[in-house]
Chain A
Amino acid sequence: MTNVVDKRKNKFNRYKDLRENPGELLSPAIKPVKEYDALDRIADIADEGTFTPFQFDFPETNPLDFEGYVEKKEELRKECGSHDAIIAGECKIDGWPCVMAVMNKKFMMASMGMELGEIFCRACEYAGEKHLPFIVFTASGGARMQEGILSLMQMAKTSAVVKRFKDEGGLYITVLTHPTTGGVSASFATLGDITLAEPKALIGFAGPRVIEQTIGQKLPEGFQRAEFLQEHGFVDEIVRRENMKEELGKLLRLHSNIYLRR
């Protein structure tokens, strides 16, 4: 157990190198990933050297005994360098301490199963205990089908935890990135005190294909995109990636009175 934790600890302590050299996280058989991922995100947002990830050690879960599920997760853990499709930790943004969680769609489309839900909840509870703001970058295809009803229940679990955090005065900021859909959009992603989104991110409950099949017509251009959501009143501000850190820093500064509780 400690070995696994230590290994990951080392991985993250060498975090800066990893950012420059993402191939190190990957097994040799897997090609380096070019897409902007959770690690890139953390490197761009957290002040240099401040991100300390939370470590978890869960027993292997496969409630439906779904064929290939455990193997798939094992493979992805190596590839993504995280236990599940979310990395959470404490960091500073423009000098302001906070808890940040970043979802990683490379890991089974960042679908929400028990472990993802639990990591989200513990990160949120930690933020509550320490009176720190909680910032979440969402991206998800929805509930993790391979965990059946237990994945659906994560929606209630995460919503309850984040509601308690907010009721106790916690600042909860969500950044909706492409795509944020299904069970994640219908739970913690849309419960932010402040809701940001990246340009053109697909955000919605049902997937566009399902809607087209249901209504029997093509969807209009830009449907379910961040701009569309903002037009309909569900997004505070759309922020480009290169401005994200600055904007989050500003939001923390605007809420600086919450740090007086610490």
Chain B
Amino acid sequence: MSAIEKVLIARDKDRPKINDYIDALFTDFFEQKGDFLGKEDGSIYGGIALFHGRPVTVLGHRKGRTVEENMACNFGMPGPEGYRKALRIMKQAEKFRRPIITFVDTPGAYPGLEAEMYGQAQAIAANLAEMSALKVPVISIVTGEGSSGGALGIAVANKVFMLENAIYSVLSPEGFASILWHDSTRRDEAAQVMKLTAQDLYEFGVIDGIISEKADLMSAIDRKLKSALKELDMLSADELAVNRYEKFRYFDEARLNASSAKEMEVV
């Protein structure tokens, strides 16, 4: 399958959405709305739930299937209030020692007037920084489109998985073609060049595993979550934070040959 075919599958409106995952994998879901700073953002959906009887915090981008649904959740493109809501409920998870599970599916953070006015950049940066130090297990699954900082803003996790047909990239292929070649119609070519499929990212060492979509998808996710939680439960609160920190600090170490160049030379 070509990269652009994967992009189109990842964006397919009939793919499961966050509420489908929550319904299938968790029970007793209690939705938490609002950033408690003045806004509610429907493009981030999350709350508390039970995973095989264990309390967890679950959240993710929300996309709709119909136009009405998509208007309500802004096509899965959060503003700063969405990231602040996510952070609020993640910090609460840390307080109550609940593991955090995030589902990533967004065309990107919303490039809008109000989003900029209220600090889109600052909100995403805060999430990246704070997530890196959370003292509970964090697991992220890229289920559809993981595009740009808007995706990463809820994906600084101990374990990052991707569904077989999901994509994860620095920008949309259209945007990439437009910026580098000044020609957004070269989208298909861009998708190929960008190396944005689950298989590419696994090879880059950016993700920890690929979840097969061939058989029963929800069971496959369930198994993956169970085994990842089991593994992370071996770590203490401090070790969980260190584990996540080192994962993101050193993921590119081999490419930069940092092992030999770690000692910085001050001249």
Contacts and interface: CB of A to CB of B under 8 A. Distances in A.
A159 B129 contact: yes
B125 interface: yes
A223 B116 contact: yes
A183 B117 CA distance: 17
Contacts, number: 192
Interface residues of A, number: 68
Nearest to A206: B111
B179 to A, nearest CB: 6
A37 to B, nearest CB: 21
B109 A205 contact: yes
B156 A54 contact: no
Given A148-B170, A223-B116, A118 B256 contact: yes
A64 interface: yes
Which residue among B153, B195, B249 has the maximum number of chain A CB atoms within 10 Å of its CB? B249
A5 interface: yes
Interface string A194-206: 0000000001111
B112 interface: yes
Interface stretch (A22-30, A149-157, A237-245, A246-254): A149-157
B248 A205 contact: no
B148 interface: yes
B265 A149 contact: no
A63 B254 CA distance: 12
B120 A186 contact: yes
A232 B168 CA distance: 32
Contacts of A150: 204, 206, 252, 255
A77 interface: no
B256 A58 contact: yes
Nearest to A59: B257
A58 B265 CA distance: 13
Given A52-B266, A156-B152, A160-B156, A210 B111 contact: yes
Interface string B115-142: 1111111101110111011000000000
A163 B152 contact: no
Contacts of A149: 168-170, 194-196, 200-201, 204, 206
Interface string B201-216: 1001010000000000
B46 to A, nearest CB: 20
A190 B122 contact: yes
Contacts of A182: 149
Given A149-B169, A186-B121, A186-B149, A219 B196 contact: no
B251 A153 contact: yes
A82 interface: no
Nearest to A163: B129
A185 B204 contact: no
A167 B245 CA distance: 13
A53 interface: yes
A188 to B, nearest CB: 7
Contacts of B72: none
A185 B121 CA distance: 6
B198 to A, nearest CB: 11
Contacts of A96: none
A147 B125 CA distance: 20
A54 B245 CA distance: 24
B154 to A, nearest CB: 11
The 4 closest A-B pairs by CB, nearest first: A206-B111, A160-B132, A159-B128, A163-B129
22 contacts: A5-B267, A53-B267, A54-B267, A56-B264, A64-B195, A117-B252, A143-B149, A147-B170, A148-B170, A149-B169, A149-B194, A149-B195, A149-B206, A150-B204, A186-B121, A186-B153, A190-B121, A205-B111, A205-B115, A215-B112, A232-B117, A232-B118
Interface of A: 5, 9, 12, 52-59, 61, 63-64, 66, 90, 114-115, 117-118, 121-122, 126, 143, 145-153, 155-157, 159-164, 167, 182-183, 185-191, 203-207, 210-211, 214-215, 219, 223-224, 228, 232-234
